[in-house]
Structures are given as C-alpha cells and as structure tokens.
Structure 1
C-alpha cells in the first residue's frame, strides 16, 4: 500500500522534531524518533503509544514530526484526526494496519460514538495480531479520564506506553517562536518574541499564527521585526 499522509497542506513551515522545543519532553521525543525509525516486528517493542495534554501544547506537532521522520526512512504512514469525523466514514479505519505507522489524533472526539469506538477497538486488535505496525494516539485526557464508553477499548489503550506532553516555559515559547520565524526567513529578536508572548494569546499555535501576517507584511514593506512594527501590524 502506498504512503498516505493527511497533513496540513497550507503550512508555511514543516512540523518536525527540529522545530519542536523539547523542554521536559526529551524522553518522549526520543521514544517517538525510535518509533518512526522502527522496522518490522521487533520483540517487546512498544507498538502502541498514547500521548495526552491540553490543547495547544504540541501533540499534533509531534504526530506530524513522527510521520515526516518515518517518511524519510521509507516507512508508510497515515495521519487522521477525529476532529474530522463528520467528514469521514467509520470504514476509514479498515485496512490501516497495512501501514507501518498509524497516527490518530483527537480520539476524545469519538465520545458517545459507539461505531467509531468499536472500529478503533478492532483496529488495535488487528495491529497487535499482525505485529508489524506502530500506533500512536493522542487526546486531551489521560487514559483514566478518557471519555469513552467502550470498556474493552479503554483496556486495549492501556496495552501501550503513555506520555504526558509537558508545557514549555515562557523562555522556551520564545525560542520556539524565534525558530519558526527563522524558518520563514525572518529574524525575530528575543525582545520581540517576549512582546508577542505578553500581548497575544499565550498558546503556541496562536502565537505562531501571528507569524503569517508578520511574514506577509514584513516582506511587502521590507521591514524588520521590531516592536513598533509588530504593534502596528497586529494592532496591539
């Protein structure tokens, strides 16, 4: 089966491990890198990984990064978000066990949807039985609080290893913003990054989204990223 990546196509910068500020998440990143590079049936290898954290911490970034790295190592991979469930058919989960890496995001969105929960349960069983795929699932909730109604599915999810994605501190948020600006060809001084952190919503996706407008207007006006330019551009 050929690779299938359902990743954001409008991203200006690739979501990779290189532009993810690890903070206290280095053990998790090392694990995901090994998952992305793993090949075939490895005895006692953790084939199921469960990630959780509140919104805006970087769970999806880590899934995209794992997919990109797997693709670089010629591993077939697929990403699906259950946020898109209204536009998806439950049969989408059939046959995913043919992929080397399966990343399923936002699984809390199948709450109160028994057909999807049963389909995920069956997929996990097939992945376990066939023994050549790795499965990564993400949610806002730790396993013990996951709002799913199928007890057998919750039991299956506990078969794997579980990681909490830890929030980075303010300096690390600034470093992430500077790095993502640099990848767009922008030079962002630390004081500008701190200004954005103090005057915009503090979640990293929201901060990075502000780079779109700054990127466009700085190019048009040939302006450097200074605090006065940022204030006028973003109406702060």
Structure 2
C-alpha cells in the first residue's frame, strides 16, 4: 500500500531549531549508537509547533544515511486506512509514528498498536512516537497500550516561540544558500499564519521565486511575491 507520506529533505538534526546539542537530538543520535544492543523506544510529547514532526523526519533521514530501512507514519494521514497499515512493518529497522494521540479511544487501532509493540520489541529495532500529551493523559482505553507507551524514554518538548520560529526560518534559508534577514523573518510571522508548516511552505515558494527572479529576499520582494 502506498502511503501519502513524504520526507522534507531539509528537516534534519542539523536544521532542528533547538540545535544539534539539544537533549532531544542528542538522545535520538545516541539511540542509533545503541541500536545494535537493544530495542530503542522514544516518546516525544509536545503541543503545536514543538518540532516533534521535524525530529521524526530527521530520524528517518538519519536512518537512511545509515542504510537502515525506515518509515514515517503520520496518523493524521493514514488513520482512515485502518490498523492494517501496521501489518508487516516489524520488518523495518526504524519506525516513526506521528500524532499517536489521534487514535486514542479507537479500540481497533489501540489493539493493533499494542500488538505491533510486542512484535517490534527486538534488538536492532528503533521506534519513535509523538503525541500532544503524556501517555497517561491520552484517554487510552487499553491499559496495556498505555503501559507500552510509557516504555523507554519520554521527552517533553516546549512549543516554539515567535523568536524560535524566526530563527528557524533564517537558519533554513541559510542552509539553502539564501539569506533571510531577521526583519524579513519577523515580517512573515506578523503577516502570515504562525503555523511552522505553513511558514516553511511559504519559504519554499519564496526560494523558487528568488531564484527565478535572481532577487534577494527583501520585504518588498516578499510582499510582491506573496501579494501581501
């Protein structure tokens, strides 16, 4: 089954807004180094724009660079396919599941996730799960699944402030070989949605427009391109 999930190639540990020395990045990198010894499981918890999805993309990219089979499942995008999407995924080396809170209270999904945990719990396997709340706050109906979600390491990630988002935009454009001033980044935050995914989509549009027009990213150019 082809799943509608793609990996942004610039959402790496290097581009993570918290930095490569952050606790969450350091932990995930360390998990890869321990992979040959034991099952590695991490639960990332945070609201809204906390960068959880970015960390999952980065984990999959890291797995690819290490030659490990991997997949990212966005529950928001695959939930309607049903629990059958988990069948056979135990053959992977690394699996990332985003927004697991969306299936809380769904008996079929909860049982399927519990059974998958049991199948996947082996050395040389790595599982990273994200949710908006801690496991015991998700209203999980199946106690055994709640228990499984508490295995391993749980990391709570703070939401990004406007300053964090502005710095992330500046950093991302710099990685693309462009320059976005702090003033331009703050302009985008005041005139557009503060949702980080929306901002990154806009950044893609500005990137292409800048290259096509051979223009720098200035506020007048941004206004003209985005029709603001």
State if a TM-score over 0.5 links the two structures.
yes
**Structure 1: tracts of 5 or more residues without a match:** none
Q: Tell me the TM-score normalized by structure 1.
A: 0.85
Contact 1:6–1:78 at 8 Å: present in 2 too?
A: no
- 1:17 match: secondary structure: coil
Matched, 1:208 2:200: yes
CA 1:5 to 1:66, structure 2 compared with 1: closer, same or farther past 3 Å?
A: farther
What is the CA–CA distance in structure 2 between the aligned matches of 1:109 and 1:167, rounded to whole Å?
A: 19
Shift of 1:86: 4.5
Deviations 1:73-108 (A, max 9, x none): 122222111112345242222332222211111112
- 2:128 match: secondary structure: strand
**Structure 2: tracts of 5 or more residues without a match:** none
CA 1:184 to 1:23, structure 2 compared with 1: closer, same or farther past 3 Å?
A: closer
Q: Tell me the TM-score normalized by structure 2.
A: 0.88
Matched, 1:125 2:118: yes
- 2:50 match: secondary structure: coil
Contact 2:50–2:158 at 8 Å: present in 1 too?
A: yes
Contact 2:44–2:131 at 8 Å: present in 1 too?
A: yes
What is the CA–CA distance in structure 2 between the aligned matches of 1:222 and 1:147, rounded to whole Å?
A: 52
Residue number in structure 1 paired with 2:58: 65
Match of 1:134 among 121, 126, 143: 126
Shift of 1:162: 0.7
Matched, 1:36 2:32: yes
What is the CA–CA distance in structure 1 between the aligned matches of 2:34 and 2:70, rounded to whole Å?
A: 12
Shift of 1:161: 1.4
Residue number in structure 1 paired with 2:159: 167
Residue number in structure 2 paired with 1:79: 72
Matched, 1:27 2:19: no
Match of 1:180 among 166, 172, 179: 172
Contact 1:114–1:149 at 8 Å: present in 2 too?
A: yes
What is the CA–CA distance in structure 1 between the aligned matches of 2:201 and 2:176, rounded to whole Å?
A: 12
What is the CA–CA distance in structure 2 between the aligned matches of 1:16 and 1:23, rounded to whole Å?
A: 10
- 1:207 match: secondary structure: helix
Contact 1:37–1:69 at 8 Å: present in 2 too?
A: no
Count of matched residue positions in the alignment of Structure 1 and Structure 2: 227
Residue number in structure 2 paired with 1:156: 148
Contact 2:79–2:103 at 8 Å: present in 1 too?
A: no
CA 1:168 to 1:84, structure 2 compared with 1: closer, same or farther past 3 Å?
A: closer
